[in-house]
Structure 1
Amino acid sequence: MNSVHPPVLVVGAGPAGLVAALTLRQNGIPVRIIDKEPNPRIGQRGPGIWPRSLELFNFLNVPEVNDMGKPVPTVRLYKPGTLETLKDSLMAPLMEPSPAIPFHSPKMMGQQLLDVILRRHLEKFSCSVEMGTELCSFEQSDEGVTAILTKNGVSETFDTKWIIGADGAKGVVRKQLGLTFLGETRDEDRILTGDIRLQAVGLDRVHWHRFGSLNRGLSLRPTDEVGEDGWQFMLFGRELDLTKFAENEELVFETIASLLPIEVTFNKLVWMSVFRPNIRMVNKFSEGRVFVAGDAAHVHSPTGAQGLNSGVQDAFNLAWKLALVAKGLADKSLLETYSAERLPVISEMLNVTTTILNKAIKSNDISTGRSPVLFMLGINCRFSNIVLDEFVPAVEGKPINAYGILDEAHLEAGDRAPDAPNMLLAGRGESDVKTLFGLYRPWYHTIVVFAPTLADATPILGALEAFDNSVVQSAVVLPSSASVTPVASSADLVLVDQEGHAYSAYLVEADQTKVFVIRPDGVVGAVVHGAEGVKKYFSNIFLDA
């Protein structure tokens, strides 16, 4: 790695860029992260955080997102011109909690607060965002990338090994790479959104309120991040000239007041912006040593709240792979799987969100078309050339369903790895319990060996000693009938599944030996019979495996 300059330059300090930088720093990779804005962005922007993203923040040791996030309010639609309820509806389908899914409901958190939380965690690794620093251009070669940056009118030449472009839909990185950004723009479906502080007599702070129609409408969602009078608002409708609104604060106040059948006092307009549905994506997520993630790679309608979540998941998929290559442990060809794994996911995501948008317009109901697919727990990369499953036969021409609904009765390589709580650490007290999610972290693979006895797992563990312990960890999971007395083992952990949750979630019989390799991004990389399968999986990951 470059001893003078950090080997990775992250351009853009929104959630995707911050997650990329944090994941790399947790892997021990020096990072420089810049943002052209002079100050951090304010406001809610994309506030919906879905369960799969909550799992990733858990792996990143960022519990505040789940702990501080608010439940998604019920949407209350009112009869025209009144405060009489017409209909209550859910913005997200209900999911019952289960041991395998600890984060079973989405949360709301404004991007302003999310960015603050992520920056604080990044600063623990002596890495701070350089605000007001803009990427002007870059040139790359086989050895690295030379970037031209400016700050306060002063130009800087910066040599690095890789660039991650998380600089948004209008950013420099995608444009200079020459990636296509095909799709459509719907000018007729514009919305004006922002944060506002107002007091409305008789309007509770429990519901997500909706007034008017899709031709001329208003939604108000209570937020506490700017004060007890804070709301995220959306003005929408083809009868409204939203371009004029964006330049006239008083017109915004007047229009909101005209749509509310109650007395309202305006305290402050915090920020606002016109948003029009752009439904576009790149043809590939990288070129050479330069990558794109988040809005720089794909944009879509806000229906479904998948954008921020998809960007975070882009970053997580890329960063663990880039870390291994930067350490010299993996060949650069591993980085090609970032684009290969994310392209089908994003393509299907655009279809999902566009379908929801079309149904909402047709039905005049923004909560219509919601399905468990939005939880993002069924996203998979079963089709990837670096996952291995010895229990599921390969089928030529098998359709890709990368954005499916979670099926807990089926688990194969490329799927999200389930959780399992109350795992007793062998030889410890009853109070010393673990969860599988507590084992999974972005700086190592976790080899989970299900075996009837420790003796059955020992040959597999012996073959794993050849792998670097800093990037490969191991855990043996024994059935509830196994002894919990102290044991000597080369495994990092020996766990007894005292309540059977792990065996149930991973679909393993008590008398069966089965090995799962969990990737640093919480994806099942391999499902194999034993040591040879593990070696075969890692031969596609590590240089010397």
Structure 2
Amino acid sequence: MNSTRSPVLVVGAGPAGLVAALTLLQNDIPVRIIDKDPNPRIGQRGPGIWPRSFELFNFLNVLEVNELAKPFPIIRSYEHGTLESPKESSMSPRVEPTPAIPFHIPKLMGQQLLDVILRRHLEKFSCTVEMGTELRSFEQSDKGVTAVLAKNGILETFDAKWLIGADGAKGIVRKQLGLTFLGETRDDVQLIMGDIRLHSVGLDRAYWHRFGNFNRGYVHTSLRPTDEIGEDGWQFVVINNDLDMTKIAQSEELIFKIIASAIPTEVTFKKLVWVSDFRANIRMVNKFSKGRVFVAGDAAHVHSPTGGQGLNSSIQDAFNLAWKLALVEKGLADKSLLETYNAERLPVISEMLEMTTTILNQTLKTGSVIAARSPILFMLGINYRFSDIVLDEFAIPGKPINAYGALDQGNLEAGDRAPDAPNMLQVGGGESDVKTLFSLYRPWYHTVLVFAPSHADATLTLGALEAYDTGIVRSAVVLPSSTTGATVVSLADLTLVDQEGHAYSAYLVEAGQTKVFVIRPDGVIGAIVHGAEGVKKYFSKIFLDA
């Protein structure tokens, strides 16, 4: 056996593992990422990406996801046995664009393409996924984790300080940690899904087509066009509780036959690209970590696909963990900061499972998934108001936890997502081309926004920030639109004029008021305070010797 060492070992190269690795690499933390499959996974799988996840990719500077993803097509639902007079509906609720929400449209991107994009970003940091490398076992101590890996029959001992298990619901990390995975398996939901290439007469590729309903005795078939596997590519879902779906999934001939039986038009099948049989499991861990080992994504929680929250929640797990782990590994934060990964994500995932299960039950009851859609699915209202490391000097204490609520733009507290604001005018020195607040937020530093009527009102707070390295804390003074455009000299890294008032409106700052917001590396408001003392108090929760 060989012995090597690296700070972080990431097990599993799906979206959760890739986002964890990329966030750490952007924080200058070396990563080794492995996956037991010899080749990258194929298939669209859960392709829905919601607005909060697009914000995350924006912070990671993975802009191609939003650029290449496509809006949900209109769904055409047909009566049994006919293509005539289909009912048309939208898969997601309509949300009007606002300056605070730059990504307001949910879109579709197959996991296969998403993985390719994320891998390319890893390669910019000279990091590649080691395919065909399996985690066999691991042991941990107070100082690190020793993992036994296998590739091509050769065993290797690998020493790391930390291990992230993003190896899926059947992975080894959660099982070896001894975490519980309580929940239920729903026998009333059996389906097969996959990618297929076919040609049909009368099926317009501009639409998502649905045949049949969810009642017993019917075959419900969904066909969504996807160009990612070719101009004749479709993602299919077949649901029928009266048939042996596992048996059907094992036979290309039976899959072709059951899809053809549901579609009242001529169909020519060309290729079955990928297929999986599925039964709804609704489960989650009792905690997200033990010692130096963490779980994220499907390794920590699985649920009904209704709502499309799985992939999105998984990458948000990874983002929440990775910026904290980076600070600890750099020696800037105490290990206790890592306990907040568990404390913040457990309530979010618990409420998410309740919501997706409710949608599943409504779908089975009404025969339509559309009726269950809600703006909550956009994930913009997810918050950590209850977290021990957020600080709000303006909020009313004692409110109940509502970690998975809908976005309320008329209320903003520490722990909420930080809103965007466009058309910011940079004055004085500092970075160039800063036009939106989102362009400031990055996963390797906190951003302190000082809203103040003038520089004089911001000076005391800015002076308190001189104790922090600009590599981990950056500052921006946000002046009202009434400010003149004269060149200024400031202690802040940036001085911005809110030309159209969007920032003051989104952050609910009144004219003449001084208010300070500390934005965490994951784009969450860590603190809303009056000034310097509040900023110091917040950072004392994050940094050592702050």
Q: TM-score range by the shorter chain?
A: over 0.9
Q: Secondary structure at the match of 1:464?
A: helix
Once the 2 structures are TM-superposed, how far is the Cα of residue 186 of structure 1 from its aligned partner?
1.1
**Aligned letter for 1:288?**
G
2:45 corresponding residue in structure 1: 45
Question: Unpaired runs of 5+ in structure 1?
Answer: none
CA distance, structure 1, for counterparts of residue 366 and residue 384 of structure 2? 34
Against the structure 1 CA distance between its residues 173 and 432, is the aligned structure 2 distance closer, same or farther, given a 3 Å change threshold? closer
**Aligned letter for 1:315?**
A
Q: Secondary structure at the match of 1:146?
A: strand
**Aligned letter for 1:409?**
G
- Indicate if the aligned counterparts of 2:4 and 2:158 stay in contact, CA closer than 8 A: no
1:255 aligned residue (239, 255, 258): 258
- Residues 128-207 of structure 1: matches in 2 within 5 Å? 128-207=128-207
Larger CA deviation: 438-447 vs 203-212: 203-212
Deviations 1:86-105 (A, max 9, x none): 42222110000000000001
**Aligned letter for 1:323?**
A
- Residues 280-319 of structure 1: matches in 2 within 5 Å? 280-319=283-322
Are 2:339 and 1:365 equivalent residues in the alignment? Answer: no
CA distance, structure 1, for counterparts of residue 339 and residue 289 of structure 2? 8
- Indicate if the aligned counterparts of 2:72 and 2:107 stay in contact, CA closer than 8 A: yes
CA distance, structure 1, for counterparts of residue 116 and residue 511 of structure 2? 45
Q: Secondary structure at the match of 1:410?
A: coil
1:90 corresponding residue in structure 2: 90
1:467 corresponding residue in structure 2: 468
Q: Secondary structure at the match of 1:155?
A: strand
2:405 corresponding residue in structure 1: 404
Q: Secondary structure at the match of 1:192?
A: strand
1:325 aligned residue (328, 340, 347): 328
1:503 corresponding residue in structure 2: 504
Against the structure 1 CA distance between its residues 4 and 445, is the aligned structure 2 distance closer, same or farther, given a 3 Å change threshold? farther
Are 2:10 and 1:10 equivalent residues in the alignment? Answer: yes
Q: Secondary structure at the match of 1:272?
A: strand
1:225 corresponding residue in structure 2: 228
Deviations 1:395-453 (A, max 9, x none): 2xx3110000000000010000000000000148xx95510000000000000000000
Q: Secondary structure at the match of 1:544?
A: coil
Q: Secondary structure at the match of 2:356?
A: helix
Are 2:496 and 1:488 equivalent residues in the alignment? Answer: no
1:240 corresponding residue in structure 2: 243
CA distance, structure 2, for counterparts of residue 87 and residue 178 of structure 1? 49
Q: Secondary structure at the match of 2:323?
A: helix
Q: Secondary structure at the match of 1:491?
A: coil
**Aligned letter for 2:352?**
M
CA distance, structure 1, for counterparts of residue 59 and residue 283 of structure 2? 30
CA distance, structure 2, for counterparts of residue 409 and residue 489 of structure 1? 31
Against the structure 1 CA distance between its residues 162 and 432, is the aligned structure 2 distance closer, same or farther, given a 3 Å change threshold? closer
CA distance, structure 1, for counterparts of residue 212 and residue 96 of structure 2? 33
Question: Unpaired runs of 5+ in structure 2?
Answer: none
- Indicate if the aligned counterparts of 2:428 and 2:489 stay in contact, CA closer than 8 A: no
Against the structure 1 CA distance between its residues 274 and 495, is the aligned structure 2 distance closer, same or farther, given a 3 Å change threshold? same
Q: What is the total number of aligned residue pairs between the two structures?
A: 540
Against the structure 1 CA distance between its residues 239 and 526, is the aligned structure 2 distance closer, same or farther, given a 3 Å change threshold? same
1:111 corresponding residue in structure 2: 111
Once the 2 structures are TM-superposed, how far is the Cα of residue 264 of structure 1 from its aligned partner?
0.7
Q: Secondary structure at the match of 2:163?
A: strand
Q: Secondary structure at the match of 2:276?
A: strand
**Aligned letter for 2:275?**
M
Deviations 1:213-260 (A, max 9, x none): 223110000000011100000111112221111111011111111111
Deviations 1:108-153 (A, max 9, x none): 0000000000000011001100000000110000000000000001
Deviations 1:42-72 (A, max 9, x none): 0100100000000000000001111000101
Are 2:345 and 1:347 equivalent residues in the alignment? Answer: no
- Indicate if the aligned counterparts of 1:78 and 1:85 stay in contact, CA closer than 8 A: yes
Q: Secondary structure at the match of 1:269?
A: strand
| Length-normalised TM-score, structure 2 | 0.98
- Indicate if the aligned counterparts of 1:245 and 1:251 stay in contact, CA closer than 8 A: yes
Deviations 1:466-509 (A, max 9, x none): 01110100000000001221111121100000000000000001
2:390 corresponding residue in structure 1: 387
1:99 corresponding residue in structure 2: 99
Q: Secondary structure at the match of 2:13?
A: coil
Once the 2 structures are TM-superposed, how far is the Cα of residue 366 of structure 1 from its aligned partner?
2.2
2:515 corresponding residue in structure 1: 514
CA distance, structure 2, for counterparts of residue 4 and residue 168 of structure 1? 25
2:414 corresponding residue in structure 1: 413
CA distance, structure 1, for counterparts of residue 88 and residue 351 of structure 2? 29
Once the 2 structures are TM-superposed, how far is the Cα of residue 386 of structure 1 from its aligned partner?
0.2
- Indicate if the aligned counterparts of 1:224 and 1:230 stay in contact, CA closer than 8 A: yes
| Length-normalised TM-score, structure 1 | 0.98
Deviations 1:178-219 (A, max 9, x none): 000000001331110000000111100111100022231100
Q: Secondary structure at the match of 1:188?
A: strand
Once the 2 structures are TM-superposed, how far is the Cα of residue 75 of structure 1 from its aligned partner?
1.7
CA distance, structure 1, for counterparts of residue 420 and residue 67 of structure 2? 18
**Aligned letter for 2:19?**
V
Q: Which ranges of 4 or more aligned residues in structure 1 deviate by more than 4 Å?
A: none
Q: Secondary structure at the match of 1:318?
A: helix
Once the 2 structures are TM-superposed, how far is the Cα of residue 526 of structure 1 from its aligned partner?
0.1
1:440 corresponding residue in structure 2: 441
CA distance, structure 1, for counterparts of residue 349 and residue 135 of structure 2? 26
Deviations 1:153-186 (A, max 9, x none): 1000001000000000000000000000000001
- Indicate if the aligned counterparts of 1:213 and 1:237 stay in contact, CA closer than 8 A: no
CA distance, structure 2, for counterparts of residue 141 and residue 243 of structure 1? 42
Q: CA RMSD in A?
A: 1.3
Larger CA deviation: 214-223 vs 42-51: 214-223
- Indicate if the aligned counterparts of 2:140 and 2:146 stay in contact, CA closer than 8 A: yes
Q: Secondary structure at the match of 2:25?
A: helix
Larger CA deviation: 433-442 vs 108-117: 433-442
- Indicate if the aligned counterparts of 1:424 and 1:432 stay in contact, CA closer than 8 A: no
- Indicate if the aligned counterparts of 2:416 and 2:524 stay in contact, CA closer than 8 A: yes
Q: Secondary structure at the match of 1:533?
A: helix
Larger CA deviation: 216-225 vs 239-248: 239-248
CA distance, structure 2, for counterparts of residue 192 and residue 338 of structure 1? 34
CA distance, structure 2, for counterparts of residue 175 and residue 432 of structure 1? 48
Q: Secondary structure at the match of 1:179?
A: coil
CA distance, structure 2, for counterparts of residue 488 and residue 462 of structure 1? 14
Larger CA deviation: 112-121 vs 70-79: 70-79
CA distance, structure 2, for counterparts of residue 517 and residue 470 of structure 1? 15
- Percent identity (aligned): 76
CA distance, structure 1, for counterparts of residue 229 and residue 86 of structure 2? 29
Q: Secondary structure at the match of 2:439?
A: coil
